[in-house]
Amino acid sequence: MANKIALITGSSSGFGLLTSIELASAGYHVVATMRDLSRRAKLDQAAAAAGVTDKVDIRALDVTHSRDIATVVDTVVSDYGRIDVLVNNAGFAVAGFAEDIKLEELRLQLETNFFGTVAMTKAVLPVMRQQGAGHIIQISSIVGLQGSATLSSYAASKHALEGWSESLRLEVKPLGIQVVLVEPGAFDTGIWTQGAHMGEESKKSTSLNFKRSLRMREVIRKIPKADPIAVARAIVAIAENPRPKLRYLVGRDAKIQLAMKRLLPWKIYEKMIANFLKIDQTP
């Protein structure tokens, strides 16, 4: 059989880059998209180092540009005839206390992490429906299953993605289409640096949350971050699994955090989180 075709968003760095290489190394033909082709060098180099340059086809796509989504999906189908795997990976994180985050900042967060993923999925669904098969792999987060101080916008985007994808799974499973949520804990990618957007008000010393914001940033900076290759490998294993589960938590931290949330009485759980984040200290 010809190579399976995988389409990935946000391939310029982090999970998207590594997943493109891992899928290509596993025999897939990968259409690796990124919004800024001037950032393709890292992926080109990684593909060359892995000996998969001919299996990684890099194309431009910003998931907030819905017309471009239709064009990319149409050209992938006309070039390759099918799409077996869609990995909705593109995303970033708005950070800051909810009180300081402007509505426009929250909307922008949802525009990429939620509506961008929905638009991609809706564009690919007719192709998979016609094939009677396909995997749609949504990169959610442990923060899609639990709230997180200073990440309310990000948590909202990933919780929305969780609910939407869980519902979609019920609808399209009878059509042979698998919808899967991947929920990583903390991994060492660009999302902690260039992918983290502090809300404008949060950066100002006039914010009533400024001091605890600085304290929290320090705590978050020190959180151990695992090797992101584990997530890329988990995605390949899901793509290869004809009957994947709905949810895959990836990372020891994610598993421990979710178990704590589920097992501990809420009052104890939130006290532990507050102590860890030093959020209770005034001002």
Q: Which residues are catalytic?
A: 154
Residue 15 in the binding site for ligand NAP (CB under 6 A): yes
DSSP state of 226: B
Shortest distance, position 175 Cβ to ligand NAP, whole Å: 25
Shortest distance, position 224 Cβ to ligand NAP, whole Å: 11
Contact 146, 257 (CB under 8 A): yes
Judged by CB under 6 A, the residue of 139, 160, 177, 239 near ligand NAP is: 139
Number of residues binding to ligand NAP, judged by CB under 6 A? 29
Shortest distance, position 114 Cβ to ligand NAP, whole Å: 10
Contact 91, 139 (CB under 8 A): yes
Describe the crossing of helices 41-50 and 14-25 by its angle, rounded to 10 degrees.
Answer: 30
The residues pairing with 60 across neighbouring beta strands, listed in sequence order, are: 34
Residue 87 in the binding site for ligand NAP (CB under 6 A): no
Q: What is the Cα 261 distance to its own chain's centre?
A: 22
Judged by CB under 6 A, the residue of 92, 97, 114, 248 near ligand NAP is: 92
Site track 203-232 with ligand NAP (rule: CB under 6 A), x = hit: ------------------------------
The residues pairing with 87 across neighbouring beta strands, listed in sequence order, are: 8, 137
Residue 186 in the binding site for ligand NAP (CB under 6 A): yes
Question: Exposure pattern of 188-213 as b/e (b: 16+ CB <10 Å)?
Answer: ebbbbeeebbbbebbeeeebebbebb
Shortest distance, position 268 Cβ to ligand NAP, whole Å: 25
Residue with tokens 């695992």: 226
In the complex, which residues of this chain contact ligand NAP (CB under 6 A)? 9-10, 12-16, 34-36, 39, 62-64, 89-92, 112, 116, 139, 141, 184, 186-187, 189-191, 195
